[in-house]
Amino acid sequence: MTIKFRFAAPLALALGLAVSSLAVSTPPAKASGGDTPHLQEWSFAGFLGQYDKDQLRRGFKVFQTVCVSCHTLDKVAFRNLAEPGGPELPLDEVQQIAAGWPIQVKDINDKGDPIERAPRLADRFPSQYPNEEAARVMHNGALPPDQSVIAKARTFQRGFPWWVTDIFTQYNENGVDYIVALLNGYEDAPEGFKVPDGSFYNKYFPGHIIGMAPPLADGLITYGDGTPETQFQYSKDVAAFLMWAAEPTLDVRKRIGWYVLGFLVIFAGLLYATKWTVWRQVKGHA
């Protein structure tokens, strides 16, 4: 046995560590120059994690009330709100939401004339901007990023040794933790730090100067179900909603993963037993 593992084990270990270190020691572009966010509790974190339907519904309410005034969500369709693994709103409610959506969909009528109509279930959330330039002009030169995959498009550096343990603890929530931190990260600029007019100081934003005004405040949205109506709670709920928007298949992915891993562990055990039985015939091997 000595020589068997002389090569394979150390090399596998070394390369495994190398891979993880290289992947995660990469300085993330978006969070450099900002403070490190705090980790939050998430229902969808970890091996058994699944979305909290009620939280996604509350998060949608925040998005619908606040975020949508500037941000687009162009990869998500109205129908998704009713689909399994999401907020799972009743279909007729989603139909009403679509019909009453403040932004219209551009379409062409039977006579070939361009028209604007209310969105349908199959439509993705329409954009309020004719193009990127127009959006920039409306926001003082800054472009409000589309929110569809924002929860996967933002991250922050974890540092040693967390980038190693993250593989095993399955820490995946960099994006949502950053969003929560950002939404609660507005404060007065430190002495001598110059913030241009129309911009704001945010502790967690890279470079600290952000074009987005503080979007949330205590009591801004009525939940009506006993959930605290605080800025922090709003930020967590909307971050969870954005995680779902970015990764709508998370629930089913993790569920299938249980069966796949269970299957593979048993199968690997059988393969080992088979290998052991076969090699027992060879002299010098057990």
Residues 126 and 144: their CA atoms lie apart, in Å, by 15
Site for another protein in 71-90 (CB under 8 A): 75-77, 79-80, 83
Neighbours of 91 (CB within 10 A): 13
Stretch that binds another protein, among 56-64, 217-225, 228-236, 253-261 (CB under 8 A): 253-261
Contacts of 177 (CB under 8 A, 6+ apart): 37, 38, 39, 40, 156
Does residue 272 sit in helix, strand or coil? helix
User: Which residue type occupies 179?
Assistant: I
State yes or no: residue 2 binds another protein (CB under 8 A). Answer: yes
Which residue in 38, 106, 117, 253 binds another protein (CB under 8 A)? 253
- For residue 20 the two structure tokens come to 């993880």
Which residue in 91, 115, 153, 213 binds another protein (CB under 8 A)? 153
For another protein, give the closer residue by CB, 124 or 203: 124
Which residue in 136, 152, 224, 228 binds another protein (CB under 8 A)? 152
With CA atoms as reference, report the closest residue to 230 among 221, 239, 241, 238. 221
> Residue 228: CA atoms inside 13 Å, Cβ hemisphere, count?
8
For another protein, give the closer residue by CB, 7 or 226: 7
Which residue in 24, 176, 216, 242 binds another protein (CB under 8 A)? 24
Binding track, positions 104-143, relative to another protein; x by CB under 8 A: ----------------xxx---------------------
